[in-house]
């Protein structure tokens, strides 16, 4: 444990000297659901185009952290700073954060039923600054092209996850937050979504991925942060987590 703490301490010191310089910078954020103190001083930096895995046990505060970063009203951010590409996010509301290029794909995916795949994509395009064209999306997501006329909620879980990510790209985004994108999906579909996330990374879109499937998340990540009871217990590279048996056993059960 001491080794882990030291590692984290060094990372904190390193980050402190670079304050404000990172593309995405989270500085000592504290967030509450009503009376419940959930996110208890979380800090990390991500460079442009990097993928960061945000890991930890059930109830660690991962989803709450993503919701805070996306500036949803609940939880409430009581203190700390969030910076995206030199602009403050901590003083913004969710719709303003969305306009600045922040996109959360929540665990339940929020696919709109009664609309086709294509209608879901068009709706996403008109709800923000225009990102990818529909044709470009279909080039990257051939399965969605095949199903363009299908009612979106009748698609498989994996296809719905692809649509959720594609819909995010239909808007002009700078940073993507994926909450458990692999949940309930067969390994072959996980690989397909993974390859999409790699393509997104190659296009320079910065991504935070929250996953119970830590191995799958880590293999496409540059950095990793592990949370426990609302605090960061490890911050480093994805490779460091994969190499650290103690850490994996204690917090990730892998």
Ligand X SMILES: Nc1ncnc2c1ncn2[C@@H]1O[C@H](COP(=O)(O)OP(=O)(O)OP(=O)(O)O)[C@@H](O)[C@H]1O
User: For every residue of the chain, which 3-state class applies, written as one string?
Assistant: CHHHHHHHHHHHHHHHHCCCCCCEEEEEEEEEECCEEEEEEEEEEECCCCEEEEECCCCCCHHHHHHHHCCCCCCEEEEEEEEECCEECCCCCHHHHHHCCEEEECCCCCCCCCCEHHHHHHHHHHCCCECCCHHHHHHHCHHHHHCCCCEHHHCCHHHHHHHHHHHHHCECCCEEEEECCCCCCCHHHHHHHHHHHHHHHHCCCEEEEECCCHHHHHCCCCEEEEEECCEEEEEEEHHHHHHCHHHHHHHHCC
Q: Which residues in the 53-82 window bind ligand X by CB under 6 A?
A: 56, 58-64
Q: State yes or no: residue 213 binds Mg ion (CB under 5 A).
A: no
Q: Does 125 bind Mg ion (CB under 5 A)?
A: no
In the bound state with ligand X, the residue whose beta carbon lies nearer, of 9 and 59, is 59
Rounded to a whole number of angstroms, the minimum distance from the CB of residue 68 to ligand X is 9
102 interacts with, out of Mg ion, ligand X, none, CB within 5 to 8 A per kind: none
Tell me if 181 contacts ligand X by CB under 6 A.
Answer: no
- Interactions with Mg ion, residue window 29-68 (CB under 5 A): 63
Q: Is 67 or 171 the residue whose CB approaches Mg ion more closely?
A: 67
Number of residues interacting with Mg ion: please give it, by CB under 5 A. Answer: 1
For the CB of residue 31, give the shortest distance to ligand X in the complex, in Å: 9
Binding to ligand X by residue 166, rule CB under 6 A? no
Residue 38 near ligand X by CB under 6 A: yes
Rule CB under 6 A: which residues touch ligand X?
33, 36, 38, 56, 58-64
């Amino acid at each position: 444990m001491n080794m882990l703490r030291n590692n984290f301490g060094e990372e904190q010191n390193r980050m402190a000297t670079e304050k404000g310089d990172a593309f995405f910078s989270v500085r000592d954020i504290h967030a509450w659901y009503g009376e419940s103190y959930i996110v208890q001083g979380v800090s990390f930096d991500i460079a442009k185009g990097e993928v960061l895995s945000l890991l930890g046990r059930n109830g660690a505060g991962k989803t709450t952290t993503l919701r805070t970063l996306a500036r949803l009203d609940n939880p409430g951010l009581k203190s700390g700073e969030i910076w995206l590409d030199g602009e403050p996010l901590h003083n913004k509301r969710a719709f303003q954060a969305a306009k600045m290029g922040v996109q959360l794909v929540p665990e339940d995916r929020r696919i709109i039923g009664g609309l086709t795949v294509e209608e879901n994509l068009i709706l996403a395009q008109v709800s923000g600054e225009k990102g990818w064209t529909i044709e470009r999306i279909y080039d990257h997501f051939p399965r969605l092209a095949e199903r363009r006329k299908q009612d979106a909620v009748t698609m498989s879980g994996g296809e719905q996850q692809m649509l959720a990510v594609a819909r995010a790209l239909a808007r002009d985004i700078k940073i993507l937050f994926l909450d458990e994108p692999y949940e309930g999906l067969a390994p072959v579909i996980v690989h397909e979504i993974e390859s999409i996330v790699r393509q997104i990374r190659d296009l320079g879109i910065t991504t935070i991925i929250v996953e119970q499937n830590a191995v799958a998340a880590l293999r496409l990540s540059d950095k990793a942060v592990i949370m426990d009871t609302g605090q960061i217990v490890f911050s480093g590279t994805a490779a460091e987590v994969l190499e650290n048996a103690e850490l994996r056993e204690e917090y990730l059960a892998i």
